[in-house]
């Protein structure tokens, strides 16, 4: 029975946890899998409940954190090495950057036969200065040489990693899109919409525009806030904006909104006033939030495969998003989403107004979403793709 050690950065809400959890739970029984990962940051939502609800008891490594810390990183590396020596995996499969560095180093040092890494995004632009970015690039290139296979989650990401950043040659990559349990975003729509809009006191004629994700610089929430400020007096519709998520930039973003004289509230319990912008923090059952929205936005400077846009399409929501990373591989431009120039307030504002004012366009985009994602991004397809890759690599290693 082949043994798989799966390692993720940390158990925070986001695509990597879902991806790792579904693979750990639903790979065929002829694979033995254990899942290890670091702990979430203070302002992040925990995702440990996701894996435990699937019957998985993860190995949590407290020292494996998001930030660079030589002492903690060395301890995490040694713990991963100890797990490898005891479990003796045939495959070590790492997910995202920190796990990919420490996990692959431990696997290579301990001569694991097959080492696989999945890029869920990358940090090669819009995160750090040029000196640190070049340092990280050199580490990734060195690790790639000793990695059996690298998984990119979109064709666009593969192109960026292989051609733009020269991480490895194209033949080193396998493209396997993410997969999720999307049915919950489609089920009980009317009940969920009613509950969300009652909680936040949304009138029927108000258009709710939401953005979902970590409050961190790469997500560029300032663009979203500035766009709301730009259009608030230019649209004939009544609008409300919802920033769903949390992170280290929350207070700064709230202060930025207030500095623009936007009526802003931080409210985790609902009971909202008629605030123009509501910061909700994390909503654990996020499938209960999308139905209450009328438009889903994303303003990121850099993305791999943003989970929020897959979820939005599953909930039949029209989308406006910056055109970055693998976006064009997960939405249908002008069919399920309007795409804007990266970090361009004028383009984003104008297209957001178009979506707000044009109900027919919103409805047209909405009806295309579920049909587009229901099979392409379902976890059964993900599991089948990864199982086929594992079996191929195992047969080649004999």
259 and 244 within one domain: yes
pLDDT score, position 129: 63
The pTM for the full model equals 0.83
pLDDT tens across 98-114, in order? 899 999 999 999 999 99
Residue 333 per-residue DSSP state: B
The answer to whether 161 and 150 have CB atoms below 8 angstroms apart is yes
Distance separating alpha carbons of residues 160 and 153, to the nearest angstrom: 11
User: What mean pLDDT is predicted for residues 221-226?
Assistant: 98
pLDDT tens across 178-211, in order? 999 899 998 999 999 999 999 999 999 999 999 9
Would the pLDDT of 55 be above 50? yes
Would the pLDDT of 267 be above 80? yes
Query: pLDDT class for 213, splitting at 50, 70, 90?
Result: very high
Residue 40 per-residue DSSP state: P
- If one counts every other C-beta atom within 10 angstroms of the C-beta of residue 353, the result is 18
Would the pLDDT of 223 be above 90? yes
pLDDT score, position 43: 62
The answer to whether 176 and 389 have CB atoms below 8 angstroms apart is yes
- If one counts every other C-beta atom within 10 angstroms of the C-beta of residue 205, the result is 7
Order of all β-strands in the sheet with 3-10: 59-61, 32-38, 3-10, 91-95, 114-119, 149-152, 173-175
pLDDT score, position 124: 58
User: What mean pLDDT is predicted for residues 51-70?
Assistant: 89
236 and 130 within one domain: no
> Within 13 Å of residue 207, how many CA atoms lie on the same side as its CB?
24
pLDDT score, position 132: 73
341 to 132, 240, 298, 320: CA distances (angstroms) = 26, 23, 12, 11
Which phi and psi angles does 78 have, rounded to 5°?
A: -65, -35
SS3 state of residue 172:
helix
The answer to whether 124 and 136 have CB atoms below 8 angstroms apart is yes
Range of the domain at 298: 183-373
Which phi and psi angles does 69 have, rounded to 5°?
A: -150, 105
146 and 40 within one domain: yes
The strand ranges marked E within the chain are: 3-10, 32-38, 59-61, 91-95, 114-119, 149-152, 173-175, 206-212, 238-244, 264-266, 277-281, 295-298, 319-322, 337-340
pLDDT score, position 126: 47
Distance separating alpha carbons of residues 127 and 259, to the nearest angstrom: 25
Would the pLDDT of 142 be above 50? yes
Distance separating alpha carbons of residues 32 and 51, to the nearest angstrom: 16
Would the pLDDT of 137 be above 70? yes
Torsion angle (degrees, nearest 10) of CA 145, 156, 380, 283: 110
114 and 28 within one domain: yes
Total residue length of the chain: 398
Would the pLDDT of 40 be above 80? no
How many domains is the chain built from?
2
239 and 165 within one domain: no
Query: pLDDT class for 375, splitting at 50, 70, 90?
Result: confident
160 and 247 within one domain: no
User: What mean pLDDT is predicted for residues 31-45?
Assistant: 84
pLDDT score, position 190: 95
247 to 218, 256, 263, 294: CA distances (angstroms) = 12, 15, 21, 24
- Give 100's contacts (C-beta < 8 A, 6+ positions apart): 94, 117, 118, 119, 140, 143
Would the pLDDT of 13 be above 70? no
Would the pLDDT of 11 be above 90? no
275 and 159 within one domain: no
- More reliable by pLDDT, 267 or 3: 3
pLDDT score, position 123: 57
Residue with tokens 């180093």: 105
pLDDT tens across 293-305, in order? 999 999 999 887 7
Distance separating alpha carbons of residues 196 and 305, to the nearest angstrom: 26
User: What mean pLDDT is predicted for residues 306-310?
Assistant: 91
Would the pLDDT of 117 be above 90? yes
The CATH number of the domain holding residue 63 is 3.40.50.2000
128 and 19 within one domain: yes
278 and 175 within one domain: no
pLDDT score, position 32: 96
119 and 234 within one domain: no
pLDDT tens across 311-356, in order? 999 999 999 999 998 788 899 999 999 999 999 999 999 999 999 9
364 and 259 within one domain: yes
pLDDT score, position 364: 94
279 and 390 within one domain: no
The answer to whether 10 and 64 have CB atoms below 8 angstroms apart is yes
Would the pLDDT of 228 be above 60? yes
């Amino acid at each position: 029975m082949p043994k798989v050690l799966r390692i993720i950065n940390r158990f925070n809400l986001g695509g990597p946890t879902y991806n790792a959890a579904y693979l750990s739970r639903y790979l065929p029984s002829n694979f033995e899998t254990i899942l290890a990962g670091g702990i979430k940051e203070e302002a992040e939502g925990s995702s440990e409940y996701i894996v435990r609800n699937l019957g998985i008891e993860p190995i949590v490594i407290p020292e494996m954190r998001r930030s660079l810390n030589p002492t903690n990183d060395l301890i995490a590396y040694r713990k991963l090495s100890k797990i490898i020596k005891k479990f003796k995996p045939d495959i070590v499969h790492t997910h995202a950057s920190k796990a990919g560095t420490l996990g692959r180093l431990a696997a290579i040092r301990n001569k694991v036969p097959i080492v696989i890494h999945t890029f869920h995004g990358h940090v090669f632009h819009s995160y750090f200065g040029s000196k640190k970015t070049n340092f990280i690039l050199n580490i990734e290139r060195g690790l790639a040489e000793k990695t059996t296979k690298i998984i990119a989650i979109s064709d666009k990401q593969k192109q960026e990693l292989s051609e733009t950043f020269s991480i490895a040659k194209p033949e080193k990559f396998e493209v396997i899109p993410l997969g999720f349990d999307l049915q919950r975003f489609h089920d009980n729509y009317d009940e969920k919409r009613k509950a969300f809009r009652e909680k936040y006191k949304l009138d029927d004629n108000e258009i709710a525009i939401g953005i979902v994700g970590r409050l961190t610089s790469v997500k560029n929430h300032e663009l979203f806030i500035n766009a709301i400020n730009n259009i608030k007096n230019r649209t004939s519709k009544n609008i409300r904006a919802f920033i769903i998520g949390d992170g280290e930039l929350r207070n700064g973003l709230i202060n930025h909104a207030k500095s623009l004289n936007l009526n802003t509230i931080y409210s985790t319990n609902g009971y909202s006033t008629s605030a123009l912008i509501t910061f909700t923090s994390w909503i654990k059952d996020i499938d209960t939030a999308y139905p209450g929205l009328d438009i889903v936005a994303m303003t990121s400077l850099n993305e791999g495969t943003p989970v929020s846009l897959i979820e939005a399409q599953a909930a039949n929501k029209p989308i406006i998003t910056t055109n970055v990373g693998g976006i064009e591989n997960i939405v249908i431009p002008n069919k399920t989403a309007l795409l804007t120039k990266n970090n361009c307030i004028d383009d984003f504002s104008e297209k957001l107004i178009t979506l707000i004012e044009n109900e027919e366009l919103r409805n047209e985009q909405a009806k295309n979403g579920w049909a587009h994602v229901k099979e392409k991004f379902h976890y059964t397809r993900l599991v089948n793709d990864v199982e086929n890759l594992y079996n191929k690599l195992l047969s080649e290693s004999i």
